[in-house]
Amino acid sequence: MDEKKALEYALQREKEGHRFFSQHAQAAQHAAVKAVFERLAKEEEGHIRYVQNLLDRCCGKQAAKEDAVQHDAGFFSQRAASEMIEQTTAQAMVPDLPVLRMAFLIERDLQEFYTAAAKQSSGAAKKALEKLAAWEGEHARLFQSLHDQIMKEYAGMAWGG
């Protein structure tokens, strides 16, 4: 796979992810969902810088810093899920269900792309794409978990007040 093309594609997807999370943070009905989207928008900014740095190095503009983005996606995902559990009210969360599902699908698709691209790459590009795949995988698991939890709570609600 052409490293430059893969990184250009990755950069566009990360920018789209940032826009998606920023827009949905403003529209979220529940404070915890809003907080998750705001935090992920901020993480996507880091991903954008990371990919742009790799792209600059690929094109000879500057030397990339290997660890331009440092975060433990697993830690964030666990914390966000625990905060969601503490704050959740199923009735307030229902309007956010379709957005959580869409966020899961976007993150899963990105994880799959980065995984496939990494398999066709080598060296620094392979390592970078594997890192991006891991980050997106953590995000996908977070959104799937939140979506599934809310659906479970919603299904168990008493109907008719």
- The DSSP-derived string for 30-64 is SHHHHHHHHHHHHHHHHHHHHHHHHHHHHTTSSPP
Specify the 3-state DSSP secondary structure of 30: coil
| Residue 68 pLDDT level (bands cut at 50, 70, 90) | very low
Sign of CA dihedral 48, 54, 58, 61: positive
Domain ranges (residues) in the chain: 3-155
Q: How far apart are the first and last CA of the chain?
A: 57
| Residue 53 pLDDT level (bands cut at 50, 70, 90) | very high
Sign of CA dihedral 69, 73, 79, 80: positive
Written as one letter, the residue type at 140 is A
Sheet strands (E) in the chain: none
User: Mean pLDDT, to the nearest integer, of 46-67?
Assistant: 77
Whole-angstrom distance, CA of residue 31 vs CA of residue 88: 9
User: Mean pLDDT, to the nearest integer, of 67-75?
Assistant: 46
State the pLDDT at residue 50. 94
Please give the DSSP secondary-structure letter assigned to residue 71: -
Sign of CA dihedral 21, 23, 94, 103: negative
Looking up tokens 């659906």 gives 151
| Residue 81 pLDDT level (bands cut at 50, 70, 90) | low
Phi, psi of 2, deg, nearest 5: -70, 115
The pLDDT tens digits for 89-140 are: 555 556 778 888 899 999 999 999 999 999 998 888 889 899 999 999 999 9
State the pLDDT at residue 107. 94
Give yes or no for a contact between 65 and 53, defined as CB atoms under 8 angstroms apart.
Answer: yes
State the pLDDT at residue 62. 58
CATH architecture of 3-155: Up-down Bundle (1.20)
